Amino acid sequence: MVRTRIAPSPTGVAHVGTAYTALFNYAFAKKNSGKFILRFEDTDVKRNVKGAEEAIYAGLSWLGISWDEGPDVGGKVGPYKDSERLEIYKKYAEQLVEEGRAYKNEGAIRFKNPGEDVSWQDLVRGKVTFPGGEVTDFVIIKGDGYPTYNFAVVIDDIEMKITHVIRGEEHISNTPRQLALYKALGADPPEFAHLPTLRAPDRKKLSKRRDPVELRFFREEGYLPEALINFLCLLGWSHPEEKEIFSIDEFIDKFTLERVRHAGPIFDWKKLEWINGMYIRNMDDVTLVHLINEHIAASVPVTLVEKIAPLAKERITKLSEAEPLLEFFWKEPQMDKASFEEEKAPVHVAAALHTLAGVKSWALAEINKTLESEIQEKGFKTGEFYMTMRIALTGKKITPPINESMEILGQDKVLHRLSDAEKILIS
C-alpha cells in the first residue's frame, strides 16, 4: 500500500510551503488508495514554538487536507512526534555501533562513511548520482541524546512503512546520507520525488522573513481555501487539459508525478487573486453573505449584508476587500471639494437632488428611469454624472453599481448625502 507523509517541524508559523508539500503527498496517497501520515519532527527543542503544532493542524484542516494517522488521530505505528521516539532512535543507533557501522565520538554517535557512490531514480528528476566521497562521516545521535534530522527521518520512514517520500528539492543533498543509512540498516528505501521550491516574484526562495507565507495570513485576507488549494496545485504541476479552475478531487484524479515540472514555480499573487475572484463569483449568495459578514469588523446587521454582499461579488478578488468597498452603506462618506474631479459636479448634484426628491416609489427601475431622463434633459455625459454620484454618495470612485446602491441606501439617506455634497461643493 502507498504510504506518504508530511513531517513539519513546529518551529514557527504554519507555512504555505508546508501546505504545498502536504497537498502533493495527500493527492498521491489518495490517487493510489493509500494512506497519508502527519508527524512532527520536534527534536530541535530550542527552536520549537508554542502553538505551532495547533497552527499546522488548523491550517491544513482549513484547506481540506486530512491525514489518516498522526499525533492527534493516532495510528498503529506511532508515536507521531520525534520527541516521543528517542528510545527507538537509540536502539537503531546502538545496532549500528555494534555492527561497526557507527562509532561513538565526544558523546555523540557518528555514522561511518561507506565511501560508495549513491544514486537513485527520482520520480520527478530522473536519475540522480552523488560520488561516494561526498558522504562523509556524520552525526546520527547528538550529545544530548536527540537524533539528527537525517537519522530520525530514516528511522521514522522505516518504522512507519513510508513508500514514497515527496518533498522539496532542498532535501536532495540529504538523500545520499539517508540512502546510506537504509543500506546499512538492511532496509528497502522508499521512492523519492523532489518537488521544485516555491519562489517569490523576484525568483528568490519564498521566505517567511520576507514574504507573507503564514496560512493564517491567507485566511485573514479572505482567500478561500478552495482557491488557495487550486492555486497550489498549479505550482509546479499542470492540468492535462490545461484547465486553470478545478477542485481538489479533480486534482487527485488527474495527478501524476510525471507532470511535476523541474523549474521552481513563481508564487504569482495576481494569479492567486484571479483564481480567488473566480471562486467568489461562482459562490452562492448565502455562502457569500456568511463569509463577508465574517470579514466585516464593524457591527453590521445581517439583513443589510444580505442586500449588499451580492453587489460585491463581481468587484472583489478576496473577502478582505469587501468592507472598504461596502462600508459607505453603514458609514457616512468622507469627502471635500477636491474629491470631485468633474467640472459639472455642482450641477450634477443639484440636478440629482432635485429629481430624486420627486421619486414616489423608491425602487431600482424608477431610480434608473428618473436619472436617465435627467441626464438626457440636461445633456450630461453619463460617465461624468455617475462618477459625481459615486463620490457624493460613497466618497469613493470605485463602488458597486451606484443605482442599485441608492436603492439599498434608501431615499432619505441618498437625499441627505446629496445635500451634504452640495454644501461642500458650493462652500
Q: Report the mean per-residue pLDDT for the chain.
A: 95
Q: What's the CA gap between 236 and 31, in Å, rounded? A: 18
pLDDT tier, 280 (very low <50, low <70, confident <90, very high otherwise):
very high
Asked, colleague to colleague, whether 3-195 and 337-426 share their fold, the answer is no
Q: For residue range 175-202, what is the model confidence (pLDDT) as tens digits?
A: 999 999 999 999 999 999 999 999 988 8
pTM above 0.85, yes or no: yes
Pairing of strands 108-111, 118-122: unpaired
Q: Is the pLDDT of residue 88 over 80?
A: yes
Q: How much is the pLDDT for 209? A: 72
pLDDT tier, 85 (very low <50, low <70, confident <90, very high otherwise):
very high
Q: Is the pLDDT of residue 156 over 90?
A: yes
More confident residue, 211 or 352: 352
State the average pLDDT over residues 153-178.
97
Q: Pick the catalytic residue: 208, 331, 369, 378?
A: 208
Q: Is the pLDDT of residue 329 over 80?
A: yes
CATH code linked to domain 337-426: 1.10.10.350
Helix ranges (H only) for 148-247 are 149-159, 175-184, 215-221, 225-233
Q: How much is the pLDDT for 74? A: 96
pLDDT tier, 211 (very low <50, low <70, confident <90, very high otherwise):
confident
Q: Is the pLDDT of residue 13 over 90?
A: no
Query: What percent of the chain shows pLDDT beyond 70?
Result: 100
Residue type, 106: E
State the average pLDDT over residues 316-340.
95
Q: For residue range 363-395, what is the model confidence (pLDDT) as tens digits?
A: 999 999 999 999 999 999 999 999 999 999 999
Contacts of 380 (CB under 8 A, 6+ apart): 344, 347, 348, 351, 374
- For 27-45, letters b (16+ CB in 10 Å) and e give bbbbbbebbbbbbbbbbee
Q: What's the CA gap between 44 and 41, in Å, rounded? A: 8
Q: Is the pLDDT of residue 208 over 90?
A: no
Q: How much is the pLDDT for 203? A: 85
CATH code linked to domain 215-280: 1.10.1160.10
DSSP 8-state assignment for residue 143: T
8 Å CB contact between 56 and 13: no
Q: How much is the pLDDT for 357? A: 96
Q: What's the CA gap between 57 and 51, in Å, rounded? A: 10
Q: How much is the pLDDT for 33? A: 98
pLDDT tier, 427 (very low <50, low <70, confident <90, very high otherwise):
confident
Q: How much is the pLDDT for 97? A: 98
Does the active-site annotation cover 344? no
Domain positions in the chain? 3-195, 215-280, 285-329, 337-426
CATH code linked to domain 3-195: 3.40.50.620
